[in-house]
Chains A and B, each alone.
Chain A
Amino acid sequence: AQSVAQPEDQVNVAEGNPLTVKCTYSVSGNPYLFWYVQYPNRGLQFLLKYITGDNLVKGSYGFEAEFNKSQTSFHLKKPSALVSDSALYFCAVRDPFKAAGNKLTFGGGTRVLVKP
């Protein structure tokens, strides 16, 4: 069975500093990996995905993520955090086999607080 772990419940960072949100996964085969962000009282917004190819993936709002197969990690990064980046971030994995459909397995989420 596939699983995703986000080891940090909360990450605090000063505005302008680099932001990293960690994610590790466990899945058989080559995973499809995703990052979503959730603002208060809102649904999930797609940030970026890794399907295949270049290990460094660039996404929305200046975010990027690096896929590391040997460490089974997919950490989310932003070079310079903004106060408006304060939100709940979810890492997710999807089984690439068609029979699994579009089902996403999510990590527990990491709350990011960017202080001015």
Chain B
Amino acid sequence: KAGVTQTPRYLIKTRGQQVTLSCSPISGHRSVSWYQQTPGQGLQFLFEYFSETQRNKGNFPGRFSGRQFSNSRSEMNVSTLELGDSALYLCASSTRIGSYEQYFGPGTRLTVT
């Protein structure tokens, strides 16, 4: 079974631009969560989607948004990029809400200049 895939793997954007990151969960998994990893703040939860609905949201500004499609693929969008948005964005998939195990993708490394 293929693992969680994230595209693109690397991205360089300029401050003020917007960016869209994509995550394809493991086949059959319906829950997708997003995390931001930075050296200063560590790993922080962004949001979680299940059955195309946002089920949980972390403490991030409204510039961060996401969505999930009917095939469980998920995208997250960051508008008006700031230098501090430079991070590794990780996606995790699981079969359902309340599942004990989550499987992480390799991440998208976003650099904002």
Contact = CB atoms under 8 A, between A and B. Distances in A.
Contacts of B55: 101
Contact of A103 (B45, B90, B100): B45
Given A102-B97, A102-B99, 5 more contacts: A32-B100, A101-B97, A102-B31, A102-B48, A104-B92
Interface in B49-86: 50, 55-56, 58
Interface-centre pick from A46, A103, A104, A106 (highest chain B CB count, 10 A): A103
Interface of A: 32, 36, 41-46, 49, 51, 90, 92, 98, 100-109
Interface in B1-60: 4, 31, 33, 35, 42-45, 48, 50, 55-56, 58
16 contacts: A43-B4, A43-B105, A43-B106, A44-B92, A44-B104, A46-B103, A51-B100, A98-B98, A100-B56, A101-B31, A101-B33, A101-B56, A101-B98, A102-B94, A108-B42, A109-B42
A102 B33 contact: yes
Contacts of A41: 106
Chain B: number of interface residues, binned into ranges: 20 to 34
Contacts, number: 65
A109 B98 CA distance: 24
A39 B90 CA distance: 14
Contacts of B92: 44, 102, 104
Nearest to B43: A106
Interface-centre pick from A32, A51, A102 (highest chain B CB count, 10 A): A102
A45 B44 CA distance: 17
A44 B105 CA distance: 7
